[in-house]
Amino acid sequence: MSGHSKWASIKHKKAVTDAKRGKLFTKLIKEITVAARTGGGDPSGNPRLRTAIAAAKAANMPADNIERAIKKGTGELPGVSYEEVTYEGYGPGGVAIIVETMTDNKKRTVAEIRNIFSKLGGNLGENGCVAWMFSKVGLILVPAENTDEDKLIEVALESGADDVKQDGDFYEVYTQMNNLFDVREKLMEAGITVESAEISAVPQSTVTVTGKDAQKLLKLLSTLEDHDDVQKVYSNMDIPDEEMENME
């Protein structure tokens, strides 16, 4: 489990630049557009869209941008048609990696993703080669700092969460996919800070990596994350805390 929140912590600590924010907005707009296209433009009846809008608001995206993305998804406004494609492979140290993309050109995207894997010590595999190692769940990350653990656990479980665990700088709140938004709302109503809330692919077990393999792996994951067509990157890595401290 710990691989996910460690990676989230790494990303959280990166300096946020205007370019990064622009890239984040692009990913959020794609998700809103596809969510609206596949499930309709009404957030109350479309949990995926509701979650995407919440993520966009958390990133301070202007309401007009959100509204336009919804309308592009429903066809009320013209827009690019994106296709969801998932790639699977292995990184340094034998770590399993899942890469979720949205693209308007599958041939371009697969070529570029394969090139990133091969250049940075990984191997792009066939569909299904690692997906069986992960489970799809709702995952809410709550910063550990200034959070009352007992209160968090009480509110989360009463709201329908399945489990709460701490890993490093974050508490991980696990939910069923259809409960994600409701649990998030209850936590926020209770005054608990929510760092992120999303449908996630959580590994059933992790692979520990250290030294050069850990450094290469983080470079690979970061480069994949930065690709314009990539929405989310998951892995089953676990880098020991002392190793992380040495790399910071």
Q: Which of 225 and 241 is assigned the larger pLDDT?
A: 225
How many angstroms separate the CA atoms of 94 and 133, rounded? 13
Average confidence (pLDDT) over 154-160: 95
Identify which of 12, 6, 9 has the alpha carbon closest to the alpha carbon of residue 206.
Answer: 6
Distances (CA, A) of 135 to 44, 98, 200: 25, 12, 8
Give me the domains of the chain, ranges plus CATH numbers.
134-203 (3.30.70.980)
Q: How many CB atoms lie within 10 A of CB 227?
A: 17
pLDDT tens track for 42-85: 998 998 898 899 888 888 899 999 999 999 999 999 988 899 99
Residue 215 tokens, joined: 């450094």
Assess whether pLDDT exceeds 80 at residue 156.
Answer: yes
pTM: 0.83
- What dihedral angle (degrees, nearest 10) is formed by the CA atoms of 8, 32, 177, 134? -50
Q: Return the ∠ at Cα 45 (arms to 228 and 225), rounded to 5°.
A: 15
Q: Which of 190, 207, 189, 149 is nearest to 173 (CA)?
A: 149
Position with higher pLDDT, 8 vs 213: 213
Residues 167 and 181: their CA atoms lie apart, in Å, by: 22
Of residues 10 and 111, more confidence is placed in 111
Tens-digit pLDDT profile for residues 112-136: 999 999 999 999 999 999 999 999 9
